Amino acid sequence: MTTNRFRSSGSGAVSDLTPVEVERVSERVESHRGTVAPSRRLLVVAANQILPTLMVPLMQGTGMSDFAVELPTDMQVAAHWLATRTFDAYLFEESSLALLDGLPSAARARIERRSIVVTLLESAHRSAMTCASCIPLSRLTRFSLEHSLGQVIRRHPPAPAVTAERSEVYDVLLRLARLDLGSHQDLERSLRPLTEAAAETLGVGRTSVWMLREDPKRLVCLDLFDQAAGTHANGIEVPADACPAYCIALSDHRILSIADALHDERTRELVPIYLRDAGIGALLDAPIYLDGRVAGLFCHAHLGAARRWTADEERLGATFADYAQLVLVAHQQRTAQHALAARDLELAQAQKMEALGRLASGVAHDFNNLLTVISGRMQMLVRTATRDQANDTDPIMTACERARDLVQQLMSFARKGSDSATWVNVDTVVTEVANMLERTIGPAIEVVCSLQAKSAVIYGDAGEIQRALLNLGINARDAMPDGGRLVFSTRNTCLEAGAAHRLRVGVRSEFVEISVTDTGTGMSDEVKRQVLEPFFTTKEAGKGTGLGLACVNTCARNHSGHLEFTSDVGLGTSFRLFLPLSAGAAQAGQSRSRTAIAPAGIGSIVVVDDDDQVRATVARMLVFLGYRVHACSDGWQAIDHVGKHRDEIDLVLLDLVMPELGGRDCMRALRLIRSTIPILIMTGSVPEQALEDCRSVVAIVRKPFVMSELAQAVAAAMSPRS
């Protein structure tokens, strides 16, 4: 195998000498010089019309075997080489000396001391006088050129071990070290300067960074740089079980140097699934370590024929893998910091919600007491009013019901924990959320409800569904800064086969589909890939935790349901929440009737409430229903009265929140006086956990209640239990 001493770089014609002629010249020279590789480097810089003349003595000279001749394709490449590379000697055509004008003085002096200038005239220009030697073109022979080169080499021994290529490598590595590669939020973008630098430095067609993923085990490309096209790609996947020999070799070596990738045993499995189609002939792959294990690899792919990698190239490939490791570690740290910050925000939000819950509970207690008085008095008036009077009282009753619903919604949203699972009418929940958003997101956004579900009853957590829909509504609002249309709709449907298989339900299983559609800005493909991930947000710092849509997805899973979405930039977004229908409970969520028949009753009831107006109103409602009533303003009075008339009392109607002696303590004392005495708790704002302590031994009615609800609750509490 002969060594080609004549090399060119760049694009375009080298000169009047074609590549075939250069190869022939090289073969001719080497046939006389043997196969010893040149130890010195000579840079030839000349205009195209002069270069053929200069090449004649270079091809003829017997003392030229020690020199590898470098031929830049044009003056721009020559200027770049002069500034970035180091040579043992230089051969200039006189006009080319102008390229030295832009160099630092020290670099220029070094080049001039090693330069031979070929002048067109017998006398040299003064710019050539500072060089080592000048030869008129008419006197240029192989003897004069060999003599001048010999003088240069004797005066200036060969350059140090840091070659031109190594100098360029050091420059690239220094440039990378100065970059904050891990600063970009997008990992793929952080890797791009690295893959570009590796392709340029090693002169390969493709460079890429791959990560090893689990479930299923596979190699996933984070960034692939195609040097010829200048483009980046990602997302390519290669199953790990399709290339076990390669994976084992990667884990056993610091660098995997494969000269012939198409026939090497370690990569033969990759030929049909990746290498052949990509046109890859050789691979230089280095594993990337995270937490002491192989987590990925940096791949340098040479396109075309086989290529034998040098030791310096192998070390450089491992260095780029180390840089990639730094980028990945920085990304992990940044992700952990963002997660920690998001958890801090979530904790602060939870604390605020807890405080809001306590505040809302206290306000709701007083508000419900007021509504109990207003609605109770109005119901008694309605039952005795004329038709004209009833028409006047209807708006008041409607306002009372809306106020009650508003208090319940505020309480539900203030509670961050899960409510008890029960039968839920989805249409009712959607209507409540839509009404709340309509009052809060501003007039620029039109909120529309389209309830098309014939059956909308599910078994689940109404509060969690409300919070999920509220999150979707708030996101839709943020996507429509200039206004738009927000549509809530429901319908009955069945899941597609893929989604049904994942949920392990039949394709004919019925679901209620809740869709939330906006006419906002929409999402890009990149955002859509990450939108359901916890802590991912496109909002400014401090304006979003990235947990809203993750909570919506969690809500779907908690209800054995499914979440889908579609989005187009500029056209809007539609989220579809699928919840499984439940058989039975057809009356769940039906609205209460203020005119429902209230069963009349007989018996003696003790009403215990610290609010004078509530106590008087409830007592009057019970008297209206036919009961005998004794009213007590606190728990102590109730205990005293029950103690005196223990066998005459049929029911105690007890408020749970009272000063001095609370409802639960009063209930225990009454049970000591008479263990079987019926007790009906009335409350409107006590947390679910507090009520759980009472459910097993008493009945509960929530304030504010309509007369029919009170009558039914009293009758049920007084009826004998089996």
Write out pLDDT tens, residues 523-581: 888 787 777 765 666 665 545 555 567 778 878 888 888 888 898 888 899 999 988 88
Rounded to an integer, the average pLDDT of 187-200 is: 87
Please say whether the dihedral angle defined by the alpha carbons of residues 206, 208, 212 and 215, taken in this order, is positive or negative: negative
The more confidently predicted of residues 181 and 305 is 305
pLDDT value at residue 159: 45
The CATH homologous superfamily to which domain 6-160 belongs is Response regulator (3.40.50.2300)
pLDDT of residue 14: 36
Question: Mean pLDDT across the stretch 207-219?
Answer: 89
Q: Is the dihedral of CA 293, 294, 295, 300 positive or negative?
A: positive
| pLDDT band at residue 73 under the 50/70/90 scheme | confident
Q: Is the pLDDT of residue 487 over 60?
A: yes
Say how far residue 386 (Cα) sits from the centre of its chain: 64
Identify the residue with better confidence: 718 or 36: 718
The answer to whether residue 171 scores a pLDDT higher than 50 is yes
Residue 630's pLDDT is 94
Sign of the CA dihedral with 498 first, then 501, 507, and 512 last: negative
Across 469-481, average pLDDT: 88
- Average the pLDDT over each of 220-224, 381-385, 456-460 and give the range with the smallest value: 381-385
pLDDT for residue 351 = 77
Q: What is the pLDDT of residue 2?
A: 36
Q: State yes or no: pLDDT of 482 exceeds 60.
A: yes
pLDDT beyond 70 at 511:
yes
Cβ contact 670:638 at 8 Å: yes
Three-class SS of residue 462?
A: helix
Residue 269 DSSP one-character state: G
Residue 597's pLDDT is what? 52
> SS3 for 301?
strand
Long-range contacts of 130-137 (CB under 8 A, 24+ apart): 131/92, 131/97, 137/50, 137/53
**Stretch among 223-227, 247-251, 462-466, 633-637 having the lowest mean pLDDT:** 462-466
Going from N- to C-terminal start, the domains of the chain cover 6-160, 167-334, 417-595, 604-718
Q: What is the pLDDT of residue 32?
A: 42
Q: What is the pLDDT of residue 302?
A: 92
Give 206's pLDDT tier (boundaries 50, 70, 90): very high
CB 507 within 8 A of CB 497: yes
Least confidently predicted of 110-114, 182-186, 526-530: 182-186
Res. 698: pLDDT tops 60:
yes
Mean residue pLDDT across the chain: 78
Where residue 232 falls among pLDDT bands split at 50, 70, 90? very high
What is the per-residue pLDDT for 485? 92
Nearest to 499 by CA among 516, 511, 515: 511
How would residue 180 be classed by pLDDT, with cut points 50, 70 and 90? Answer: low
Give the model's confidence band at 210: pLDDT under 50 very low, under 70 low, under 90 confident, else very high. very high
Region 147-154 average pLDDT: 85
Position 639 pLDDT exceeds 50: yes
CA distance 492 to 499: 16
Task: Answer whether 96's CB lies under 8 Å from 111's CB.
Answer: no
pLDDT band at 300 (very low <50, low <70, confident <90, very high): very high
**According to the per-residue pLDDT averaged within each range, which of 16-30, 179-193, 604-618, 652-666 is highest?**
604-618
High-pLDDT (> 70) share of the chain, %? 76
* pLDDT surpasses 80 at 488: yes
What is the DSSP code (8-state) at residue 220?
A: E
The confidence score (pLDDT) of residue 57 equals: 79
Query: Is 535 or 511 the better-scoring residue by pLDDT?
Result: 511
Could you give the CA distance from residue 532 to residue 551 in angstroms, rounded to a whole number? 9
Higher pLDDT, 140 or 156: 140
Question: What CA–CA distance (Å, rounded) separates 28 from 710?
Answer: 113
The answer to whether 602 and 625 are in contact (CB under 8 A) is no
Q: Quick check: 498 pLDDT over 50?
A: yes
Q: Which residue has the higher pLDDT, 9 or 447?
A: 447
How sure is the predictor about 3, in pLDDT bands with cuts at 50, 70 and 90? very low
Residue 161's pLDDT is 41
pLDDT bin (cut points 50, 70, 90) of residue 278 is: confident
* pLDDT band at residue 341 using 50, 70 and 90 as cut-offs: confident
Task: Read off the pLDDT of each residue in 108-129 and give the average, rounded to a whole number.
Answer: 79
Pick from 246-250, 346-350, 521-525, 590-594: least confident:
590-594
User: Hey, how many other C-beta atoms are within 10 angstroms of the C-beta on 102?
Assistant: 10
Segment 578-601, tens digit of pLDDT: 888 865 444 444 445 555 555 667
pLDDT above 90 (res 417): no
- Cis check for the bond before 157: say yes or no (omega within 30 of 0): no
Give the domain 417-595 fold: Heat Shock Protein 90 (3.30.565)
Helix residue ranges, H only, 91-217: 105-113, 142-155, 164-178, 187-202
Residue 301 has pLDDT above 90, yes or no: yes
Could you give the CA distance from residue 607 to residue 638 in angstroms, rounded to a whole number?
8
Instruction: Give 398's contacts (C-beta < 8 A, 6+ positions apart).
Output: none
How much is the pLDDT for 266?
92
Asked if residue 151 lies in contact with residue 133, where contact means CB atoms within 8 angstroms, the answer is yes
Amino acid 379: pLDDT = 78
**Closest CA relative to residue 625, chosen from 609, 604, 640:** 604
Q: What is the pLDDT of residue 110?
A: 84
**Same fold for the pair 6-160 and 417-595:** no
Please tell me the predicted confidence (pLDDT) of residue 34: 43
Are the CB atoms for 473 and 486 separated by under 8 Å?
Answer: yes
What fold is seen in the domain 604-718? Rossmann fold (3.40.50)
Model confidence at 35, pLDDT cuts 50, 70, 90, reads very low
| DSSP for 85-103, written as a single string | ---SEEEEEGGGGGGGGGS
Backbone φ, ψ for residue 655 (5° rounding): -75, 140
Mean pLDDT on 374-400: 75
Q: Beta partners for 425?
A: 457
Write out the CATH class of domain 167-334.
Answer: alpha beta
Q: pLDDT higher for 81 or 531?
A: 81
- Residue 67 · residue 50 · CB < 8 Å: no
pLDDT of residue 264: 92
Strands 67-72 and 40-45: parallel
Full-model pTM: 0.43
In this structure, are strands 628-632 and 572-580 parallel, antiparallel, or unpaired?
unpaired
Q: Give CA–CA dist 554/123, Å, rounded.
A: 88
Looking at residue 124, its pLDDT comes to: 63
CA distance 167 to 9: 17
Confidence check: pLDDT of 203 > 50: yes
649 compared with 683, residue with greater pLDDT: 649
